[in-house]
């Protein structure tokens, strides 16, 4: 190789190294806020430029203007109402207008309605949206342990899109070629696991099946100890998702001197505990049963319906929409708490 070629190669290598440095680190300033005990690295770091972009992306749309009461129930004016028939007819129309903004601003009312027969249960999105309204009312009435009094509306997940940006499907089996063999559900760059080689699907075991989320066993060997290294990797993958989904680091919920100990954790860990159970609840009780209603092109690679995880509502911030009250203009969206069932929200601790 000539001297000139060697110098060119060295120059290219130096440029690539500079690009790596530029894109691997954030430019200052970086803000740091202490969230816990001193000396335990319990602080949150954030980039003001990123924070400003997140604030712009997490705004509530203006509600439709208030209307005078019609003096009639919606069920007296419109037919085939199965969820919101007790609303005032004008308030019902106002809510429908806002739902269009929340879910299908480009498609309009026709996204969920047959424009020649608004009462008909077609297209399929009419049936789905009705069940989603029931889900929203259920969350606001039964899961105050997680959503408190800010609640959720369709906007919390949809943000003006028919399909929320952050949903998940069952992961299609991945088998490596040649001597690499079976990937065992990991060892590829996984977005769910924070672009690491951690397991690619932490949602099925923890946010669907309710597996125990732990990295320390509650018992000594050999009896009942299932906190294996493999189990730990799966748990870490879920934690990476939660961290990215909420835009926080581990110490937002955990005390760095003892990640296991609840007594030394922050209050946010309890809120997250309820959030994980709420997510399981709505996936199994509301979303998965809707699978037969969806056409094939709306299902995942293994034929399952889109499901929610932490990022679906949070979209990279520690509180959806930074804690904006989503239901103050829509009290009808707070449903009565149902009788306790196996899947119902656990009582506050």
In angstroms, the Cα distances linking 314 to 73, 142, 156 are 35, 19, 8
How many other CB atoms are there within 10 angstroms of residue 97's CB atom? 15
In sequence order, the 6+-apart residues with CB closer than 8 A to the CB of 69 are 88, 90, 91
pLDDT band at 111 (very low <50, low <70, confident <90, very high): very high
Query: How far, in Å, CA of 39 to CA of 106, rounded?
Result: 51
> How, if at all, do strands 31-34 and 43-46 pair?
antiparallel
Tell me what pLDDT residue 340 has. 46
Residues in the chain, total = 349
Q: Is the pLDDT of residue 161 over 60?
A: yes
Least confident of 16-30, 118-132, 139-153: 16-30
Question: Are the beta carbons of 250 and 43 closer than 8 angstroms?
Answer: no
> 92: which 2 tokens?
């019902």
Question: Are the beta carbons of 279 and 139 closer than 8 angstroms?
Answer: no
Helix (H) or strand (E) holding 32: strand 31-34
pLDDT band at 272 (very low <50, low <70, confident <90, very high): very high
Tell me what pLDDT residue 197 has. 83
* Segment 318-336 mean pLDDT: 93
* Segment 145-164 mean pLDDT: 96
Burial class (CB in 10 A: 0-12, 13-18, 19+), 329: middle
Question: Are the beta carbons of 316 and 244 closer than 8 angstroms?
Answer: yes
Residue 69 DSSP label: -
Q: Quote the longest CA-to-CA distance of the chain.
A: 90
Question: Are the beta carbons of 318 and 246 closer than 8 angstroms?
Answer: yes
Question: Are the beta carbons of 170 and 287 closer than 8 angstroms?
Answer: no
Least confident of 1-15, 225-239, 288-302: 1-15
Q: What angle do CA 235, 321, 338 make, to 5 degrees?
A: 70
Alpha helices in 247-324 (DSSP H): 267-282, 310-314
Percent of the chain at pLDDT above 70? Answer: 81
Percent of the chain at pLDDT above 90? Answer: 59
């Amino acid at each position: 190789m000539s001297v000139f070629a060697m110098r060119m190669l060295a120059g290219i290598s130096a440029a690539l190294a500079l690009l790596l440095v530029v894109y691997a680190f954030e430019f200052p300033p970086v803000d740091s806020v202490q969230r816990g005990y001193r000396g335990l690295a319990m602080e949150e770091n954030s980039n003001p430029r990123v924070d400003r972009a997140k604030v712009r992306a997490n705004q509530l749309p203006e509600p439709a203007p208030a209307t005078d009461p019609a003096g009639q129930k919606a069920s007296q004016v419109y037919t085939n109402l199965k969820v919101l028939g007790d609303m005032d007819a004008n308030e019902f129309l106002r809510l429908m207008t806002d739902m269009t903004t929340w879910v299908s601003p480009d498609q309009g009312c026709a996204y969920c309605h047959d424009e020649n027969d608004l009462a008909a249960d077609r297209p399929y999105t009419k049936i789905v949206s009705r069940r989603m309204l029931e889900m929203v009312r259920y969350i606001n009435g039964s899961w105050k342990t997680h959503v408190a009094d800010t609640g959720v509306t369709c906007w919390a997940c949809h943000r003006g899109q028919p399909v929320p940006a952050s949903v998940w499907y069952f992961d299609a089996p991945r088998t490596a070629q040649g001597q690499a063999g079976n990937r065992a559900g990991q060892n590829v760059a996984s977005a769910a696991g924070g672009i690491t080689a951690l397991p690619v699907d932490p949602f099925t075991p923890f946010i669907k099946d309710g597996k125990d989320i732990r990295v320390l066993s509650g018992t000594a060997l050999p009896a009942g100890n299932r906190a294996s290294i493999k189990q730990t990797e799966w748990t870490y993958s879920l934690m990476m998702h939660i961290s990215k989904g909420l835009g926080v680091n581990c110490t937002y919920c955990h005390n760095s001197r003892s990640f296991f100990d609840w007594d030394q954790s922050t209050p946010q860990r309890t809120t997250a505990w309820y959030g994980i159970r709420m997510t399981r609840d709505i996936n199994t009780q509301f979303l998965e049963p809707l699978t037969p209603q969806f056409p094939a092109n709306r299902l995942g690679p293994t034929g399952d319906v889109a499901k929610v995880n932490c990022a679906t509502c949070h979209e990279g911030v520690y509180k959806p929409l930074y804690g904006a009250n989503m239901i103050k203009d829509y009290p009808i969206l707070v449903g009565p708490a149902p009788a306790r069932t196996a899947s119902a929200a656990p009582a506050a601790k």
